Structure 1
Amino acid sequence: MLRTGIAVVATTMLLAGAAVAQQQQQPAAAPPPPDFSKVEIKTTDLGDNVYMLEGQGGNITVAVAKDGIIMVDGEFAPLHDKIKAAISNVSNQPIKYLINTHFHGDHTGGNEPFAKDGAVVVAEVNVRNRLAAGTTNGLTGVKTPPAPQDALPAKTYTGAFHIRLNGRVADLKHIANAHTDGDTYVWFKTANVLSTGDTFTNARYPNIDFANGGNIKGMIAAADTYLKLTNGKTRIVPGHGPLADKAALMEYRTMLTTARDRMAKLVKEGKSEDDVVAAKPFADLDAKWAPSELASKNFIRVVYHSLADKKDTGSSTGKGA
């Protein structure tokens, strides 16, 4: 009887342990969607008929020309009507172009409804490829299914591309292997406004999507490009966070290089991912750049994967279109 009881207990403990292990191996669930009904769109005038819109998701840039509007990023589809209403307060011109700075849903969710309004969605070619194929989050394992055909960019480019309307030019350039493998920055030269997408996030750690071509080395290269392009009067629209200037961008670059150098040392020493998370190598940076402990751990992990993963994340360039 005693043996039977011990066997039952042992079996129960074994099954419980297996269940815990299985739960630990399961990818984290996607966070619940925001309550879009409560989202308000804030508009900031950047001068020269260019505006920054903040809502839920990536920041939006709106550049008004005499015959239409160039829009950078579109947040989430449920915010389409609110975004359109905010834009109508500054111009009645039609939105002719919607530029995707990369493929993540908080920047491309508006593709389908704005395309149905008549906007031409433009992106670097890897954005279309990622949206069409579906993607997997390297940190959580959460899978995003392929986007519907109507949400895919209608116009793609490699290297560089220029959009011209009457009285307005948008210069699009690809930054290879930075936040993702399909990043675009948009330079409105005459307005002295730069839209960076998530290659620059103001006063917060960036996400580096290492599973989809992102790498901290490319993020630093992006910052270097922007520092050469801008001056003290440039208004910089980051992917997330408040409107920025060149000084904020320089501080961001310093943080990135500090993180890269510290992590490179740990990787060279043969530390594992768990080792580096436990070491908290960016603890002194967290006060400014990490809004939560999770944000701190996630940044450690993405920088680690940038430098430790054995795969080719070297930059690639294309010809202008």
Structure 2
Amino acid sequence: MIRTGLTTLAAALALSGLALAQQSPPAAPPAPDFSKVEIKTTDLGDGIYMLEGQGGNITVATARDGIIMVDSEFAPLHDKIKAAIATISPLPVKYLINTHFHGDHTGGNAPFAKDGAIIVSEVNVKTRLAAGTTNGLTGVKTPPAAPEALPAKTYTGRYKIRMPGRVADLKHIANAHTDGDTYVWFKTANVLATGDTFTNGRYPNIDFANGGNINGMIAAADTYLKLTNARSRIVPGHGPIADKAALQAYRTMLATARDRMAKLVKDGKSEDEVVAAKPFADLDAKWALSELASSNFIRVVYHSLADKPAEKKPLLKRILHRS
């Protein structure tokens, strides 16, 4: 009896440990080998270029006395990115725009700021970088950024950068990929830089834990479709250079996914049940880079529609509570 009881207890503990292991968030992916990364440059015309390396795409716009740069990838790539820019123009980067706070777009902030660039972002980007964030899918925590990596200039709503021979129009897209997204419109060149509100030929990430929502992503696509024309060059957050037709296909995919998920949420399905149902199986062939990308997209769309927004206490109550 004692031996049987111990055996049963051991089995129960083993199963319990297995269950806890299964519930633990997955480990963060290994760091890229930046020594092997090469920077590819694509000429978009009128002194504007797209740079591709490791992480989010970069847009470089030349002016008569300097450069406007959109996003900066990772800090270890700073020298390679600078070298690629030097083949375009000998002028310095005067402004570095962050389209959102994720590290594959803001990792180069500190070294480029040290070079003299003024970092510009929507105000929520600085808030997120300064506080640190948590990934809603994996639970992985990103610590607060160093002070020198924080944007020096923030805006709300819209902002314009004027340089001799170049104007960049910045506008905030609310609650799309994150809560701090900026798109950059170079009107005279007919070039749009979207950050991760648009990813060409692949499912996007929607950072629901930090203000992202699929309805905001669709709203962003609608804004871009009104802004661009058949000759526009669109620099996505990830993927190859795009045109308006690619953007329209992306918008159609988002709306299809949103509508299918809305029905499942309305029917009371759990997150695991919708993942098992594979509601986007027919979309995966074009948009899923891997099985993990497929399941992650299901999860972020589910959270966009199923999660209830956090209750906000009236300002007076919050003040009294802190007191």
Q: TM-score, normalised by structure 2?
A: 0.95
What does 1:33-182 correspond to in 2, within 5 Å? 33-182=31-180
1:25 is displaced (CA, Å) by 2.5
Post-superposition Cα deviations, 1:154-199, rounded to whole Å, max 9, x if no partner, equal 1000000000111000000000000000000000000100000000
1:312 is displaced (CA, Å) by 6.2
Instruction: Tell me the secondary structure at the aligned position of residue 188 of structure 2.
Output: coil
Matched residues in 2 for 1:26 and 1:153: separation?
Answer: 34
Equivalent position of 1:203 in the other structure = 201
1:227 is displaced (CA, Å) by 0.3
1:14 is displaced (CA, Å) by 1.5
Instruction: Tell me the secondary structure at the aligned position of residue 184 of structure 1.
Output: strand
Matched residues in 1 for 2:69 and 2:177: separation?
Answer: 20
1:4 is displaced (CA, Å) by 2.1
- TM superposition outliers: structure 1 runs of 4+ over 3 Å: none
Matched residues in 2 for 1:203 and 1:17: separation?
Answer: 41
Equivalent position of 2:28 in the other structure = 30
Structure 1, unpaired ranges of 5+: 314-321
Matched residues in 2 for 1:145 and 1:246: separation?
Answer: 37
Higher relative contact order (CA 8 A, sep 6+): 1
Equivalent position of 1:319 in the other structure = none
Q: Does 1:286 align with 2:248?
A: no
Q: What percent of counterpart residues are identical? A: 80
Post-superposition Cα deviations, 1:215-253, rounded to whole Å, max 9, x if no partner, equal 000000000000000000000000000000000000000
1:280 is displaced (CA, Å) by 0.4
Q: 1:62 is aligned with what amino acid?
A: V
Instruction: Tell me the secondary structure at the aligned position of residue 196 of structure 2.
Output: strand
Matched residues in 2 for 1:141 and 1:20: separation?
Answer: 19
Instruction: Tell me the secondary structure at the aligned position of residue 190 of structure 1.
Output: helix
Q: 1:306 is aligned with what amino acid?
A: S
Equivalent position of 1:190 in the other structure = 188
Q: 2:42 is aligned with what amino acid?
A: T
Matched residues in 2 for 1:142 and 1:18: separation?
Answer: 23
Matched residues in 2 for 1:218 and 1:87: separation?
Answer: 33
Matched residues in 1 for 2:309 and 2:115: separation?
Answer: 41
Matched residues in 2 for 1:162 and 1:277: separation?
Answer: 42
Matched residues in 1 for 2:274 and 2:90: separation?
Answer: 52
1:79 is displaced (CA, Å) by 0.2
